[in-house]
Amino acid sequence: YSGSGIETTFTQGEDACLAAMVPGLPASTDTAPALMVVGTLADVVEDQMRSLFDRMGLQVSFFPPRNSQAMPVVGPNTRYLLAQPFLADTARALQSRGAQHLAAPFPLGVEGTTAWLQAAATEFGVAPEVFEQATAAPRQRAEKALAVQRQMLQGQRIFFFPDSQLEIPLARFVHRELGMDLVEVGTPYLHRQHMAAELALIPTGTRISEGQDVDLQLDRCIADAPDLVVCGLGLANPLEAQGITTKWAIELVFTPIQGYEQAADLAGLFSRPLKRRLKLAA
């Protein structure tokens, strides 16, 4: 497989790597359903997720594992949640081994994390009161922290250039939980099945673009004059030179952003460029 950040995006490299590993995963011999979380997560995020599942009484395996000698088993009893939205080839490979995908929004922000966890809870018959008890405290902490960030971001207009396939879940998060207005949401590839739950939460009529036609996208962006643009490094400086505030998309790939405890950090990635603009203008 190619993991090059030059030939492909970093996210495609992860997908290719994990898909190449799936044929070598041990076959499951159990018949009882088992839960797997798929997608590379920071150790702290994985620990938080495992703790939440433990509190719900669910055992979970993570793919990829921290230890290469402890590969998870897979088979028709496997039910998996995608932690990252760019794993189309990996998902296809897992399904070829009999695993079943649990459709859900992605675990970004309070809403996404709760719905993601709920998909597993529903599949494995976790009682509503057990789910509430397991998630209430971290959910409330995250909601309180997001309220602070919302003061800066409410009503700000945001434009996403296509970069990582994170764009649609991020757009759902910034709009629904931070009150930002979506000007355009670009994504390099739109996997309609994996994104179905996310698209259902995006406002009707939102401009969504697939693929990369940079000249036309730049024309639309400059004409729309959004308050914040999420884009690659190559576009950031030219846009900043025209007075448009930018956020590097690559930071959203390499920063731990999944789960309740990271929700405020994720919001901060969007608010900091706007705070910087205010300081420079002062």
Q: Region 177-206: what's the mean pLDDT?
A: 96
Indicate the pTM of the whole model.
0.95
Percent of the chain residues past pLDDT 90, beyond the cut: 88
Poorest-confidence range of 24-28, 183-187, 192-196, 278-282? 278-282
Q: Give, in order, the Cα–Cα distances in Å from 188 to each of 100, 105, 128, 233.
A: 25, 19, 37, 16
pLDDT above 80 for 6: no
Residue 12: pLDDT band (50, 70, 90) is confident
Residue showing tokens 């496997």: 78
Please state, in angstroms and rounded to a whole number, the distance separating the CA atoms of residues 170 and 108. 7
pLDDT above 90 for 279: no
Percent of the chain residues past pLDDT 70, beyond the cut: 96
Angle formed at CA 201 by CA 199 and CA 207, multiple of 5 degrees: 55
Residue 4, pLDDT score = 58
Task: Write the DSSP string, the chain.
Answer: ----TTTS-HHHHHHHHHHHHGGGSPBP---S-EEEEES---HHHHHHHHHHHHHTT--EEEES-SSTT-PPPBSTTEEEEESSTT-HHHHHHHHHTT-EE-----SBHHHHHHHHHHHHHHHTT--HHHHHHHHHHHHHHHHHHHHHHHHHHTT-EEEE-SSSS-HHHHHHHHHHTT-PEEEEEEES---TTTTHHHHTTSPTT--EEES--HHHHHHHHHHH--SEEEE-HHHHHHHHHTT--EEEHHHHHHS--BSSTTHHHHHHHHHHHHHHHHHHH-
Q: Region 222-234: what's the mean pLDDT?
A: 95
Q: Region 147-169: what's the mean pLDDT?
A: 96
Residue 280: pLDDT band (50, 70, 90) is confident
Count CB neighbours of 14 within 10 A: 20
Residue 9, pLDDT score = 67
Domains observed in the chain: 10-138 (3.40.50.1980), 144-281 (3.40.50.1980)
pLDDT above 60 for 5: no
Q: What is the mean pLDDT of the chain?
A: 94
pLDDT digits (tens, 9 = 90+) for 53-76: 999 999 999 999 999 899 999 999
Count CB neighbours of 2 within 10 A: 11
Q: Quick check: 175 and 215 in contact, CB under 8 A?
A: no
Residue 195: pLDDT band (50, 70, 90) is very high
Residue 8, pLDDT score = 55
pLDDT above 80 for 271: yes
What are the tokens at 232? 């690659």
Q: Region 173-193: what's the mean pLDDT?
A: 96
